[in-house]
Amino acid sequence: MTKTALLFPGQGSQYSGMGHDLFIASEVARARFAEADRLLGFSLSEIMFSGSADDLTRTSVTQPAIYVHSVILAQVLGLADRAQMAAGHSLGEFSALAVAGVFSFEDGLRLVAERAAAMQAACDAQPSTMAAIVGLEDAQVEALCAEIEGVVVPANYNAPGQLVISGTTAAVEAAVERAKAQGARLAKLLQVNGAFHSPLMEPAQQRLAAAIARTPFAPAQFPVYQNVSACPTTDPDIIRQRLTEQLTAPVRWTQSIQQMVADGAIHFVEAGPGKVLQGLVKRIAPQAQVESISSLNA
């Protein structure tokens, strides 16, 4: 049987005006946006609908905004009823779990807000960054990182030949130069202020683990392929553990999509802002059907 997989984007896919069509068209969406504004203690919806790009790039805004947009869109369109599996890229894993019924919209938003605050605090504690490496084999990048003095590790396995590394600023800069010398087609620093999915996120991981421990989790309604393992699960205890590990472990996106295809996924639906994941799926599994839905008009 062919299967449909839902995919949810992570940080970097935000844009000004996101979610406004949902607010206009849906009473359910309006109620959800009001809940989000109340829970966060500021008008997230106003920033999403009319804020500047700078407003939307603050981690404390970006992560809740993408989560809220993705989950509301999926719920208004009833996408869970069409899906047999799901995955989310980094932050997007929280959206996937909410849509799969593991936790409520509100509890998920609390976790995302805590995650964003914890990550920002970890970023502020030490100069750190990330870089994109394109055109080298994963094993080459892994070996390259291991040779560099300091903290620099693979962070996002986004697609074959496309990997993001993460660590202290000096170590990442050294790795970029080494990658260029080894023939990388592209090796450049990203416009981020922290080393996500690296050991430098350990203080944030401890803070998020405490929030996860006090949040009710239910079995997922369909398998969710988690970033840490690239394997499916519906077990709430496994989900808790892997979600806690996610902040310091790499996002195994290439492996997740490959496993979903092996398990029967032929149709992928990206739900949320942007079309980043659509592009990655086309590179990982060219034979798959993939579409992006970022608004009621797609």
Domain limits, the chain: 3-124+199-293, 125-189
Cβ distance 29 to 72 under 8 Å?
A: yes
pTM of the model: 0.96
Ramachandran class of 164: left when φ > 0, alpha when ψ lies in -120 to 50, beta otherwise: beta
Phi then psi for residue 167, to 5 deg, are: 165, -160
For 209, how many CA atoms within 13 A lie in the half-sphere containing its CB? 13
Residue 66's contacts (CB-CB under 8 Å, 6 or more residues apart) are 9, 10, 11, 13, 14, 91, 92, 95, 272, 273
Q: Does domain 125-189 have CATH number 3.40.50.2020?
A: no
- Is the pLDDT at 198 greater than 90, yes or no? yes
Cβ distance 64 to 113 under 8 Å?
A: yes
Local confidence band at 78 (pLDDT 50, 70, 90 cut-offs): very high
CA dihedral over 276, 182, 149, 249, signed as positive or negative: positive
| Candidates 3.20.110.20, 3.30.565.10, 3.30.420.40, 3.40.366.10; CATH matching 3-124+199-293 | 3.40.366.10
- Is the pLDDT at 127 greater than 90, yes or no? no
Give the residue numbers annotated as catalytic, written as ranges: 90, 197
Domains 3-124+199-293 and 125-189 share a fold: no
Average pLDDT for the chain? 95
- Is the pLDDT at 298 greater than 80, yes or no? no
